[in-house]
């Protein structure tokens, strides 16, 4: 922790001014590189020590009944004076820790788009798009099943993946309607405009469907889930391969290569286009999030707060979707248990198993259990 503080002091000194390309000095670049190397090494060391710590904690709790923090980082903050004021979260999340944007200087900077604060909410899908074929996102369907069909593997989604109704009805805006001629008109800022018009509509439609029905926390979880799916779509890690998603991926690749292809390749800033897209997302993601909040405000004048769940960005899409499926499964399970209790138990607590209504519920619940077991096995391969 002491070494980290020393390196942070050197970095902030060299990079104290970093507002445009000309501000990025060689000294700043060197300190950023040194700091990145340090946290990469420490990240590895902490992961090794953290595993050892878990084993020790389990032993002490079991043998000696001593309660300790359940992870190594909380233990350090509790017992090491040098570590008490260190925020370990960005240390593990980002390549440059909490100095991610400060260290993205020189040719990184022209990837970041600047709008006036009120512009993010003002873009119009009909007038501000360059798409010749102007079609936009429809209302969210009332009900759509999870897509876990084995026969559709490698056709619309990757093997071992179940795709939520939310992602199946995801708003991609006009990105999937861009024609070849349109793509030549999509410069860097226009690309972000197309994305935030889609994400604004996604936030609006999600909140319209869930925000007035669910409690605020659950509705915000849907918003966060879609926000992080935009990241995977931009970077190229999306697991949903329907025709619209494939068209969007192809369009995004063409747009990034046309605008920034000169930055990618051997002995250049980025080795792959995916590396470049990852940096582009980091520099512009706040505007995507703000656009989703704009969508919420359009349908809900109560000005409900919806906080971003930053740790979701570091969870692979498969695990996020599996977690969402598990949440949905538990809700369904609760519904069936209540229905079973209602239809198969009399007022005096007597079993109604021979009753036709109860038998129908049992049959339907057995089928539900069978299908959910198959879905679980598909995702557990």
117-314: CATH topology is 5 helical Cullin repeat like (1.20.1310)
Distance from C-alpha of 215 to C-alpha of 228, rounded to nearest angstrom = 21
- Which range among 33-42, 172-181, 232-241, 368-377 shows the weakest confidence by mean pLDDT? 33-42
pLDDT tens digits, 280-318: 998 899 999 999 999 998 888 776 678 898 888 888 999
Q: Is the pTM of this model over 0.85?
A: no
| pLDDT tens track for 44-100 | 787 788 777 777 766 565 455 555 676 777 777 787 888 877 777 666 666 666 676
Look at 47-56, 174-183, 339-348, 366-375 and tell me which has the smallest mean pLDDT: 47-56
Domain boundaries, the chain: 2-108, 117-314, 322-379
Please provide residue 351's backbone torsions phi and psi, each rounded to the nearest 5 degrees.
-70, 140
How much is the pLDDT for 160?
A: 80
């Amino acid at each position: 922790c002491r070494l980290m503080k020393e390196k942070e002091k050197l970095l902030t000194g060299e990079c104290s001014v970093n507002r445009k390309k000309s501000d990025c000095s060689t000294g700043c670049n060197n300190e950023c590189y040194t700091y990145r190397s340090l946290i990469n090494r420490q990240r590895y060391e902490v992961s090794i020590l953290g595993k050892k710590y878990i084993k020790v904690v389990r032993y002490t709790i079991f043998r000696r009944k001593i309660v300790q923090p359940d992870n190594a980082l909380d233990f350090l903050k509790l017992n090491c004076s040098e570590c008490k004021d260190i925020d370990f979260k960005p240390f593990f999340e980002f390549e440059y820790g909490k100095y991610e944007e400060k260290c993205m200087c020189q040719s990184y900077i022209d990837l970041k788009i600047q709008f006036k604060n009120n512009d993010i909410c003002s873009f119009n899908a009909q007038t501000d798009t360059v798409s010749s074929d102007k079609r936009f996102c429809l209302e969210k369907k009332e009900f759509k099943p999870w897509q876990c069909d084995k026969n559709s593997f490698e056709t619309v989604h990757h093997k071992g993946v179940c795709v939520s109704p939310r992602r199946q009805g995801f708003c991609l805006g006009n990105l999937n309607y861009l024609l070849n001629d349109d793509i030549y008109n999509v410069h860097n800022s226009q690309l972000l405009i197309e994305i935030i018009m889609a994400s604004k509509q996604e936030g609006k439609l999600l909140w319209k469907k869930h925000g007035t029905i669910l409690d605020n926390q659950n509705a915000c979880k849907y918003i966060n889930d879609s926000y992080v799916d935009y990241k995977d779509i931009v970077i190229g890690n999306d697991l949903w391969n329907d025709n619209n998603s494939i068209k969007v991926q192809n369009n995004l690749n063409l747009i990034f290569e046309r605008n920034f292809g000169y930055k990618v390749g051997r002995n250049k800033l980025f080795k792959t286009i995916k590396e470049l897209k990852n940096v582009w997302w980091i520099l512009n993601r706040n505007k995507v999030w703000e656009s989703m909040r704009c969508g919420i405000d359009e349908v809900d004048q109560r000005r409900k707060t919806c906080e971003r769940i930053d740790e979701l960005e570091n969870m692979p899409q498969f695990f996020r979707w599996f977690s969402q499926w598990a949440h949905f499964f538990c809700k369904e399970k609760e519904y069936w248990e209540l229905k079973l209790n209602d239809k198969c138990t009399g007022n005096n607590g007597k079993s109604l198993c021979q009753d036709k209504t109860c038998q129908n519920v049992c049959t339907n619940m057995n089928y539900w259990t069978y299908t959910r077991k198959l879905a679980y096995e598909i995702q557990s391969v």
